[in-house]
Amino acid sequence: MNDNHDSIGRGHAAVKRRQPDLYHDLITPQETLAIREEVRRFADEHVQPAAWSIGHREELVENFPRDLFKKMADAGLYRIPFAAQVGGRGLKHPATATAVLIEELAYYSNSVAAIVDVHCILAGHALEHATPELQQRYLEPLLAGERIGSFATTEPEASTDLSINVMQTHAVGGDADFVINGRKRFITNSPVADFVVLLCTDNGRMTEIVVDLDAPGVRVGPPDRKLGNHGQLTADIYFENVRVPASNVVGSRGAGLKIALQTLTYGRIGIAASGVGMAQAIFDHSVDRLNSRKAFGKHLAQFQHWQFKLAERATEIENARNLYLKAALRMDSGQAFPEPEAAMAKWYATQLAGEFARDGVQIFGGYGFMQELAADRSHYRVEEIYRDCKISEIYEGTNEIQKLVIARAIFGKGVTG
């Protein structure tokens, strides 16, 4: 499908970006600043015109934004997180650049940010633990955008709690090959993906295994219908006697949970960045609206109520961006689990996006509540963000779990459990 098929680009038109004037960046490496500029140019040109349409489509396989997915591949965006040996850009600060990539995509579309987050950070990063042979088969085509990746830990009865005794997807055997049975839930990209990096039990331990989604015995259900992020397709994946070679193990047998948790820690930095991207978009659209809309003979911006509200949000965006950059820089310095900053960044930035989305709709009044105004087909970014932002407080570790991670750093595991 042409991603721009029904976008009229009105109401959603670009507004002045406020971040360059308000945010004095002292911590981002030059290399990452260049990535921000490159991705922003790409997003202005290719994501902005398609974003409204992507965010308002029915969740169907044929509505996956394939045009844009390919454009991102052609622009080399999926290479940003990775080392040169596997075809990546070989950056000195790959996690920081990747988080900035996610912020810049989420500024226009949280659906697109989520597609890329799962493709690159979850599926891609997990494969960094794989053998060179597996990387050649799965990671290199993922970087080229020739194969779409997905990553599965969640099950109907296991998600926040990923303990082995609740997990119901089992791989048995494993000398020459495994036989896998079970079911995964809410798996992003799965309706269009080529493979899944799967966390399952393996004879009393937990292991990550790559499974082709066209293998006999694998079935992907129809896409779920969600509150927001309509461009991001999720579905259940069913495994019935699926035979997978033992060589498809990622890392070593028994290392699955550690790899999954490390991957999700990287992921939570990405989700923090997506929260900042959404908050910045609400901010820019709100300032524009407050400066142009009048009531009682004044611009709304002249009411101190809104001046103070925007002053508070500007400060919170500053804090949220600094936090995710700090977490990413710690990851780039070799910390596989850069806590408590990663948890702080994820909780703080996504809560900010959620609270600010509520304010954003309020600032736009009735127009903020419209998906599309019948009189002139106009639409406003805050409506979509209001629906999209909620999931960022839930996926890749709920915000309650982020607070548990922070509390552990304060009180120790002996107290928090």
| Segment interacting with ligand FAD (CB under 6 A) among 14-22, 304-312, 339-347, 398-406 | 398-406
| Segment interacting with ligand FAD (CB under 6 A) among 16-24, 64-72, 149-157, 277-285 | 149-157
Considering 208, 383, 393, 396, which one is annotated as catalytic?
396
* Touching ligand FAD, residues 168-197 (CB under 6 A): 186-188
86: tokens are: 């596997």
C-alpha–C-alpha distance, residues 301 and 317, integer Å: 19
| Segment interacting with ligand FAD (CB under 6 A) among 7-15, 154-162, 247-255, 279-287 | 154-162
User: 296, exposed or middle or buried, with CB in 10 Å at 0-12, 13-18, 19+?
Assistant: exposed
C-alpha–C-alpha distance, residues 271 and 268, integer Å: 5
Whether the Cβ atoms of residue 22 and residue 314 lie closer than 8 Å to each other: yes
133: tokens are: 């042979």
C-alpha–C-alpha distance, residues 235 and 218, integer Å: 13
Using the rule CB under 6 A, is 358 a contact of ligand FAD? no
Binding mask 117-136 for ligand FAD (x = CB under 6 A): -x------------------
Residue 384 falls in the annotated catalytic set:
no
Size of the site for ligand FAD (CB under 6 A): 20
Question: Minimum distance between the CB of residue 162 and ligand FAD, rounded to whole angstroms?
Answer: 9
Helices (H), 365-398: 366-369, 381-388
Using the rule CB under 6 A, is 391 a contact of ligand FAD? yes
User: 28, 96, 135, 153: which one contacts ligand FAD (CB under 6 A)?
Assistant: 153
Residue with tokens 């998600």: 159
Using the rule CB under 6 A, is 64 a contact of ligand FAD? no
C-alpha–C-alpha distance, residues 23 and 214, integer Å: 47
Cα atoms found within 13 Å of the Cα of residue 163, Cβ hemisphere only: 3
Question: Minimum distance between the CB of residue 391 and ligand FAD, rounded to whole angstroms?
Answer: 5
Whether the Cβ atoms of residue 231 and residue 111 lie closer than 8 Å to each other: yes
Nearest Cα neighbor of 341 from 264, 400, 258, 406 is 406
User: 108, 138, 364, 395: which one contacts ligand FAD (CB under 6 A)?
Assistant: 395
Question: Minimum distance between the CB of residue 216 and ligand FAD, rounded to whole angstroms?
Answer: 23
Residues lying near ligand FAD in the complex (CB under 6 A) are found at 118, 151-154, 159-160, 186-188, 226, 229, 234, 391, 394-396, 398, 400-401
- For the annotated catalytic residues, the residue numbers are 396
